[in-house]
Every structure is written in structure tokens, then in C-alpha cells.
Amino acid sequence: MTKRGIWRLTVTEGFCASHCLRGYEGPCENLHGHNFGVEVVVEGERLDPKVEYLIDFKKLRGKLREVLASFDHRHLNEIAPFDVENPSSENLARFVYRELEKALDGEAARLVSVSVSEKEASKATYMEL
């Protein structure tokens, strides 16, 4: 059996924002803020023949920054879709995943997952199978 190779790349970014978790019935229902961390994983089987990389880290990070730009130093509950949907880490990860997937259309790298953390000890990861 012939094995085939695959490359996985990971980039991280962050943003500062406040939110309130509607219906939480605890302190997190009140206005509070985080230094959110976002981790993106992409993968692919073929490298660019000229430079021999899957995708330029700078390009991938730039696309992620574009998606996150509307969140930085904002109150997430005031930004669509989080004006209706709870701005939980889970929902943020799904939103970023779907926006970044559109931004990566046509690239050799395909999106695997997006993780969002409110602190280093815990994170929510979203992927589509």
C-alpha cells in the first residue's frame, strides 16, 4: 500500500472584546471581556511548485485577521450574528470557520478547524465533516 503525504499548518491570532452570555444565569451573563485566542488549522496534499509551501503563513494569517477585524475592541453582542446568537466561544469558532472557508476558496490549503479560547486553559473547536 502506498502512503500519501499531507501537510497541516497552524496559525494563531487574537482579539480583545467584551460579551455577555445570554441565559447563562451566572457571572458570565454580565458584561465582561477577554483576550480571545484563535487557532486555525489548514491542510493539503500539494505544495506550490515554485516556493514549495502549502500556503504562505503571512497570507493565511492575513485572511484570518480580516475575519477577526470586526471583533477587535468591540462588544460582540452588538455585532451580527451575535446580536441574536450568543457570542460563546463555540459560536465564534463556527462563525470564523465559515467566513475563513470562503476566504480560502481556490487555495490549495483547505480549512480543517478553528478553535477559540477565552483563556489558555480551555478552547472550543469547530470543524465540518
Assess if residue 45 is contained within a domain: yes
Among 1-5, 63-67, 75-79, whose mean pLDDT is lowest? Answer: 1-5
Assess if residue 78 is contained within a domain: yes
Query: What is residue 111's predicted lDDT score, i.e. its pLDDT?
Result: 98
What string of H, E and C letters represents the secondary structure of 97-127?
HHHHHHHCCCCCCEEEEEEEEEECCEEEEEC
Assess if residue 58 is contained within a domain: yes
In angstroms, the CA 60 to CA 100 distance is 9
Q: Which residue has the cell 467566513?
A: 99
In angstroms, the CA 123 to CA 90 distance is 9
How many domains would you assign to the chain?
1
Range of the domain at 111: 7-126
Query: What is residue 2's predicted lDDT score, i.e. its pLDDT?
Result: 85
Global confidence as pTM: 0.95
Q: How confident is the model at residue 90 (pLDDT cuts 50, 70, 90)?
A: very high
CATH number of the structural domain spanning residue 109? 3.30.479.10
Assess if residue 19 is contained within a domain: yes
Assess if residue 1 is contained within a domain: no
Q: How confident is the model at residue 4 (pLDDT cuts 50, 70, 90)?
A: confident
Mean pLDDT of the chain: 96
